[in-house]
A and B are shown apart, each in its own frame.
Chain A
Amino acid sequence: MNEIIRDTTVSRRAFVVGSAVAGGGLALGLQLPSGIDTAAAQGAPEATEINIWVAIKPDDTCVIRIARSEMGQGTLTGLAQLVAEELECDWSKVATESVTPGRSLARQRAWGDMSTGGSRGIRTSQDYVRRAGATARMMLLQAAADEWKVPVGELTVSDGVIRHAASGRSTSYGKVAAAAAKLTAPDPKSITLKDPRSWKIAGKPLKRLDTNDKLNGSKVYAIDIQLPGMLCAAIKDCPVFGGKVKSYDEAKIAAMPGVKKVVKVKDTAVAVVADTWWRAKTALEALPIVWDEGEGGGVTSATIAQRMAEGLSASETNGDWGTGEAAKAIAGAAKKVEAVYGTPFLSHACMEVMNATVRLSADKAEVWVASQNVESSLAALSEASGVPLAKCEVHRHDLGGGFGRRGGTQDYVHQAVAIAKELPPNTPLKLIWSREEDQAHDFYRPISQCKMSAGLDADGNLVGLHLRVSGQSINATLNPTGIVGGKDKRQLQGLWEEPGDAQFGYTVPNLLIDYVMRNTHVPVGPWRGVNTNQNGVYLECFIDEVAKAAGKDPLEFRRALMSKHPKHLAVLNAAAEKADWGKPLPAGVHRGIAQFMGYGSYSAAVAEVSVSPQGKVKVHRMVLALNCGHAVNPGQIAAQVEGSVGYGLTATLYGECKVDKGRMVDLNFDTYEIMRLAEMPKVETVVVPSYDFWGGVGEPTICVVAPSVLNAIHAATGKPVRTLPLKNVKLV
């Protein structure tokens, strides 16, 4: 069992939508638009829908619907565990089915938010999916009670088998599903969710449900889709951001093998359509294109760095918070510490390059795509094609990496539709970006710099701290209307005053944290961990510098500032304890520590690092502690923590998107280096759930990876590292 069922097998006659679930109670009698959501599988045993999240087959298979995207982060398995826990079904008979946005729209967005970013996949849907599982269980039990004419309170259920002890009778979910579906959903107030401490399916390190087809090549990613009569396109957008196409000479490639058409895409890009992608790409490379580079052609990494540096001393800020009088306290302090840090643009470099396949006709538009926001994909398809939303559909494919790249922008869907519109109706068109195009046209992790000043009293206590971030705003690229009064508070992510999501974890008597927005022509976007990455490096490395100036142990120095932030402190202590902080290490190996908060969760790390006489860094071991409130699958949490080390260490060691002549310089993995297995340290994950909130998992720990490693290097060499990546830094 446990396969992912891609087609709906739900009986249309058996809708009973639980009012307890988000957007529920809407579907009865709703007219489905033509051509959408009618893909009932032929021949497969039909599943009866108990509510929108749970359908049950006669053979007791429990089909759990998943609305969020799976990109490797394990959300699919975690959500299924939460539903199965309340449903009390047999985990070995669980199958999952992903819900398309067209289907959700046809039922008035019954499945709610489908977007998958910000480490929200589980924490913002856990309540309604657990309630759906509980609702279904109650209805299935009621159906058995009705059949046996006994009070429902006399029944017990375990692994999908319902028993009546007094009469010795038993039945299974598959046998009562049809009757259960006809019942009215229970009053939401009558639902009591389980105490997570008593979970039997959730909370356990169960294996992922979606592994098997990743082992034998049978999993179909969006890039793999093959449709009858399909054509393929390769695309080149103006390498200078903001530039346009001036002209191109399509006669030069018209006779090349397989070439069907050359299409100008909007004003900025040229695509070649051919019978195969390789032929399209080959012809595109041979196509002479003249660009109008626009105003960005003179921009370099150096001019961008100057712009960031200017912001460090600007008198006008875009936002701030603080306590006391930081400037005065620092000016009058017995000892002052000052430093300027900087972090570069980074690309996402998903292993599966951007791609989308579309098929358009006058009254229907479809896209096959890997998306973190399938409703945005649907909207992009409709907007670009002119086909009404109700006649659009997104065929979901699990993502070959997302990391924030495949969210709301859906630029590749817009492009694919623009190309397909130039082809005969119903011609499937698959657009694939080359790796070079993927590197050249990302929405990059924002660049920023940070200037920090601290004052210590005669006893080495921190009396004042000023932290100024000067950097680029994601909202300025992706959501300009979200900037009100010049503010994009995400620039200070992880340094916020308010608790709950990304709170600053120290108490400093005189504190000023402020930021200025310095945008560039380079488009930016969320990148696993977003601004907690940069801000985590700034704060946590500087705290180490200050601790050193105070002559104190970096762990003890932090602890003294954290008494009013017990959850931050608890994970710091958990990491330190597991890593044997303070105990001897092999000669030449040094420890560094860091803590930070993001995505509603608390993270800390200890890195063990050595630096060779030649200045080569080796990260031997990393211990990461995470309090994400409730731990739905500790095994998959560990996998995400390990993954955050892989992604975070690549950024620390190698990650840098240089800009020259207004464009990206490093366009493939030969120069944009990615960490390989040989450099992966031993990672130990300590999950310390406090059972009183729901935090994220995919992103929180990445922000402590770089600072803990940099602090260990500082300990090893005696010199702080203030710029990334390390490949540019001479350590000895």
Chain B
Amino acid sequence: MTKLNINGSIKDVEVEPATPLLWVIREQVGLTGTKYGCGVAQCGACSVHINDEVQRSCSIRVGDIKPTDRIVTIEGLSATSSHPVQKAWAAVDVPQCGYCQSGQIMAAAALLKRVPKPTDKDIDEAMTNICRCGTYQRIRAAVHMAANDTTRT
């Protein structure tokens, strides 16, 4: 039995310790907003926050997670899609197919927590998730917009 703190609640999961956190989140916990894209930490579709840092959950063994680790998925980023990053994503009309956007939003939210006013270079370095629809230009614009959101706490 593994105890996971996901989006503020404790989940007990019965699973092999080598199982990637991504698949535990999707298949045992049942939260499917976190996506499978590559399984080798390249694309970032599986990005979640662990103790406020963005991590690629496809390449983290669930057995390496401590019960005290705070995991936040896209479903837990805000209750009403009101996180400044989510608002900016809507305002700039970022998503096309949308599949990678959970991961993009989680990566952007973690960046802004670390660097409140990121430069283009900061964004280049932090936003390394793959988008095949090519929404990168709008992602950049939306990160800047979120950084300038005066309601941001």
CA distance A438 to B96 in the complex (A): 21
A535 within 8 A of B: no
A313 within 8 A of B: no
A401 within 8 A of B: yes
* Chain A nearest Cβ from B27, distance in angstroms: 4
A289 within 8 A of B: no
Q: Mark A210-230, 1 if CB is under 8 A from B, else 0.
A: 111111111111011010000
Would B99 and A217 count as touching, CB distance under 8 A? Answer: no
Q: Which of A218, A278, A350, A677 contacts B33 (CB 8 A)?
A: A218
Interface core residue of B27, B34, B129 (most chain A CB under 10 Å)? B27
* Chain B nearest Cβ from A624, distance in angstroms: 12
Would A216 and B128 count as touching, CB distance under 8 A? Answer: no
Number of A residues, CB within 8 Å of B? 59
CA distance A232 to B27 in the complex (A): 10
Would B30 and A216 count as touching, CB distance under 8 A? Answer: no
Would B99 and A221 count as touching, CB distance under 8 A? Answer: yes
B20 within 8 A of A: yes
Residues of B within 8 A of A216 (CB): 33, 74-75, 77-78, 81, 86
Residues of A within 8 A of B90 (CB): 207, 211-212, 215
Q: Which of B114-153 contact A (CB under 8 A)?
A: 123-125, 127-140
Residues of A within 8 A of B99 (CB): 221, 350-352, 400-401
Would B123 and A677 count as touching, CB distance under 8 A? Answer: yes
Q: Which of B45, B129, B137 contacts A683 (CB 8 A)?
A: B137
Q: Which of B28, B42, B93 contacts A208 (CB 8 A)?
A: B93
A321 within 8 A of B: no
Q: Which of A71, A277, A642, A668 contacts B134 (CB 8 A)?
A: A642
* Chain A nearest Cβ from B62, distance in angstroms: 10
CA distance A670 to B40 in the complex (A): 8
Task: Tell me whether A351 and B136 are in contact in the complex, defined as CB-CB below 8 angstroms, given that A217-B75, A639-B96, A674-B130 are known contacts.
Answer: no
Q: Which of A87-95, A181-189, A472-480, A644-652 makes up part of the contact surface?
A: A644-652
Would A677 and B133 count as touching, CB distance under 8 A? Answer: no
A697 within 8 A of B: no
CA distance A676 to B132 in the complex (A): 9
Would A218 and B75 count as touching, CB distance under 8 A? Answer: yes
Q: Which of A208, A223, A403, A435 contacts B132 (CB 8 A)?
A: A403
Q: Mark B89-127, 1 if CB is under 8 A from A, else 0.
A: 110010111111110010000000000000000011101
Q: Mark B22-50, 1 if CB is under 8 A from A, else 0.
A: 01001110111111111110110100000
Residues of B within 8 A of A212 (CB): 81, 90
Closest residue of chain A to B127, judged by CB? A677
Closest residue of chain B to A434, judged by CB? B39
Size bracket of the B interface: 35 or more
Would B100 and A74 count as touching, CB distance under 8 A? Answer: no
Would B86 and A351 count as touching, CB distance under 8 A? Answer: no
CA distance A677 to B142 in the complex (A): 13
Q: Which of A218, A276, A351 contacts B37 (CB 8 A)?
A: A351
Closest residue of chain A to B97, judged by CB? A72
Task: Tell me whether A74 and B127 are in contact in the complex, defined as CB-CB below 8 angstroms, given that A403-B132, A680-B134 are known contacts.
Answer: no
Q: Which of A656-687 contact B (CB under 8 A)?
A: 668-670, 674, 676-678, 680, 682-683
Would B97 and A677 count as touching, CB distance under 8 A? Answer: no
A73 within 8 A of B: yes
Q: Mark A275-287, 1 if CB is under 8 A from B, else 0.
A: 0111100000000
Residues of B within 8 A of A642 (CB): 134-138
Closest residue of chain A to B43, judged by CB? A669
CA distance A72 to B129 in the complex (A): 17
Would B132 and A646 count as touching, CB distance under 8 A? Answer: yes
Residues of B within 8 A of A403 (CB): 132
* Chain B nearest Cβ from A654, distance in angstroms: 11
B69 within 8 A of A: no
Would B36 and A215 count as touching, CB distance under 8 A? Answer: no
Q: Which of A350, A647, A677 contacts B140 (CB 8 A)?
A: A677
B5 within 8 A of A: no
B73 within 8 A of A: yes
Excluding A215-B105, A221-B99, 9 further A-B contacts by CB distance (< 8 Å) are: A215-B81, A216-B81, A217-B102, A220-B32, A221-B35, A223-B32, A278-B20, A646-B131, A678-B128
A residues at B contact (CB < 8 Å): 71-74, 207-208, 210-221, 223-224, 226, 232, 257, 276-279, 349-353, 398-403, 432, 434-435, 635, 639, 642-647, 668-670, 674, 676-678, 680, 682-683
30 contacts between A and B (CB under 8 A): A72-B98, A72-B133, A214-B101, A215-B90, A215-B95, A216-B75, A216-B77, A218-B75, A219-B98, A226-B30, A350-B99, A351-B45, A351-B99, A352-B35, A398-B97, A400-B35, A403-B132, A639-B96, A639-B135, A642-B136, A646-B132, A646-B134, A646-B136, A668-B40, A669-B42, A674-B132, A677-B123, A677-B129, A680-B136, A682-B137
- 4 smallest CB-CB distances across A and B, nearest first, come from A217-B33, A646-B134, A72-B97, A400-B99
